[in-house]
Structure 1
Amino acid sequence: MKKKTFTRCFLIILSTGVFFAAFFAVVPDCFRPSGTLRDIRQQQKLRVIMTNNANVYYSYRGEYMGFEYDLVRAFSEYLGAELEILTPEWDAMFPLLDAGEAHLIAAGLTVTPSREALANFSDGHLEVQQQVIVHKSNNTVQGLADLEGKTIHLSAGTSYAERISELQKDGRALQTILYINMPTEELIRKVADQEIEVTIADSNVALLNQRYYPDMRIAFPIEEPQNVVWAVRTGETELLEQVNTFFELIRENGVYSRIYERYYRDVSIFDYVDLKKFHKRLKTRLPKYKDIIRKEAKKYGFDWRMIVAVLYQESHFNPRARSHTGVRGLMQVTKATAHEMGIRNRLDPSQSIRAGVGYLAKLYARFADIKDANERLLFALASYNIGYGHVRDAQKICQRKGWNHRRWTAMEKALPLLRLKRYYKDTEYGYARGTEPVRYIKRILLYFDIIKQKSREKG
């Protein structure tokens, strides 16, 4: 089958969500795999080795997620195979792959000289760079020379340990303590808690964990940019070709961008003071309101952690909060909304939460034309912030521009246009500060991500 034809088939199938097995059943000659690839097709099972962390693969409220996991899941659909995840210790990954216990490794790997002798690697799908991680208060580590005499804590067998070894061979007086199967996230936590002084992490891992551990500091890079890859057994060229073709295709049809945006959108946003306050107030202020939040969220089918994120963005858990526009209370309810939702005292925490969550549910119901629940919630939240009419106006701008008016990524471009007369003069509701709901939702998603991580840490 010619590549152009196969690409067209794949784009149609993936865009409509049809499982690939159905495609191969109808067009059996599209693809004739052999070796491991044939085994995957015959068994209809793809076994993948992954690590259990926020960047690769984890479970949240019974749903599996993670940047690499979403890519692997899409690849399994591409092959028409059921996905099976293995999460061995770090030092067992390559031996298990070599023994044929899994078909590939997708664990945030980069290529190193020692790994090249163990497996074959795909084309890169994400550029990263190794970064030195220290505590925020540590001003003594500003460059490579400052690491001499310091103890660098690393997990054995990682690309970080290999890079430090290279620097030692080049004459750098670097001291290390190596751990067996210690997750990089745990070492970052130890730095943030000042249990250790220095560790190393890839830039994507460091940026994501900066949200969870704001007392860490990304100091400087110690390696040139590298690519995250997948690994297959040595000699499995056909499977490797399909992995590379898959990466090419999902870049073409936008699937890769959507997955990337889900996990790394605005990952570089970092406000130390705000995040420190947020982490502190989750402990000191949230407990007083957690029960009522859980109750109201459950009533409408919302994730209570998302409601916590909204509540913090609205008032920082301050029941007497008041904005310059006159909205008040934990959920910053307007007088009109208070009347509509049947509450009398906007400063009463229970009433404010009840009114705010109930009103959000009403807005959510009004976007029934948006079938994706996550996208639909973002539209409801934007309406909570700027008003339902303005959101519908922005959707019409999307349609005129040829953008998907049911995708939040399109709305992020359209809403700010409501500030410009050439756009708002043709709308029903007129001018709006359209950049505000975009920033509003970015912050809510950031807080929600942190709360999810804390839930995962508690098991």
Structure 2
Amino acid sequence: MSALRNIARITLLLAGSASLLVVSAPPAAAVGNASAAFTETVRKPFTGDFDAMVGRRLVRILVVPSQTYYFVDRGTQRGLAYDFGRAFEEKINQKRKRGEPRVEVIFIPVHRDDLLKGVVEGRGDIAIGNLTITPERERFVDFSVPFLRDVKEIVVTGPESPEVRTLDDLSGKTVFVRPTSSYFQSLWHLNESFSKQAKAGVAIESAPEQLEDEDILEMLNAGLVDIAIVDDHKARFWAQVLPGLRLHPDVAVRTGAETAWAFRKQSPQLASVVNEFARMHAAGTAFGNQKLQEYLKSLKYVKRARSEQERKKLFELIAIFRKYADQYAFDWLMVAAQGYQESGLDHGVRSRVGAIGIMQVMPATGRELGVGDIRQRDANIHAGTKYLRRLIDQHFSDPAIDPLNRTLFAFAGYNAGPNRVAALRKKAASQGLDPNRWFGNVERVVAREVGQEPVRYVANIYKYYVAYRLVVDTQREREAAEAAAKAP
């Protein structure tokens, strides 16, 4: 194994807003100054073509962390982007002469809105992320030969969503999409068409950029949102494991689309190498089909948190959540979202280890907190909320951490232990990550050192929070509309 690969496997570093997750370590003596040099090589902006990458023996692939494309579980990199990238590494090294050092491919996770920008600015060489080729994007980057052709961006609904039979049925409806997605652009063009026909436009609800397509599909399946737009192949893939999804292949906001890898303009050598690889690994090949099936087995799915039954649970508990969230300075919706993750807001839940009720409080913890009988809903929620505040005050009170991230760190500590999470914040800082941000930073170190459980725990709570925020906002809008209708 090359020295560069050994160095890569012990380093977790930041390149601008991007970080490289790597896994195992050689003996410490093998690292030394070489590790610092490698770090500097990755961090420094570079805009050369493929010959210069070969000279550096380094190709940087920007990826977006997601349940499908790229994630790290107990130090092991996984996902479709990772597998395709490793296959690309093997392909480019097949042409190396005997004895020549390997060209290494590294994976740099970034936020989706940094994916193309990172390539343009030289913080990565290739972007992989199920990227649809659009005229807007082609202004900034070039695309490979498509890995997937004839893609349709279709309407997907959930088990309780309004009926959608034609594009016209989207008029006046709310659709949940990320602003940086090609779906957003497609809806914008659809609204232009509706405007010319004097029809009400689509109300575009901006999804947080932290949510990937599969996250939004999970939310649809759970009844957390009503309508989304997703590539048809991805929707079909996830419909195999999310039975509540309703696909509408005849209701497409874009047809004939193509997805590909992206790279910097004026990179003809890289274009040639990537295109040769794409022709051998595109959808429909044995390699592509095999990899797609490997990620159906280990996923956890969001529950139906916004069904009528679950909404009733939430509104019955609002007064209690509000009371103690106000007392301990939390957003009550965030605490309610944690309660749903812990127990489904079912106070009758008892865990195998003896945790009780909505917030899954251990009896000893309840007694130590001094809030009363945690077998009662009020005291149980009081205990869980008070414990969250204690976690923040004792472990995450650094004023550099904003209120949202303090709460996210407290959730992680609730699940994985506060001392462990606090220690991993320090480790994140030592590796060039932001120790004051959970998403995209400390969560990556937690995934590597602890595993996916606390990462999924915090992510699910955040999804529930988004859903509950939508429920409350919708209720407020409905009440305001009713009040306006009744006004003289």
Higher helix share: 1
* Higher relative contact order (CA closer than 8 Å, sequence separation 6+): 2
TM-score, length basis structure 1: 0.48
TM-score, length basis structure 2: 0.46
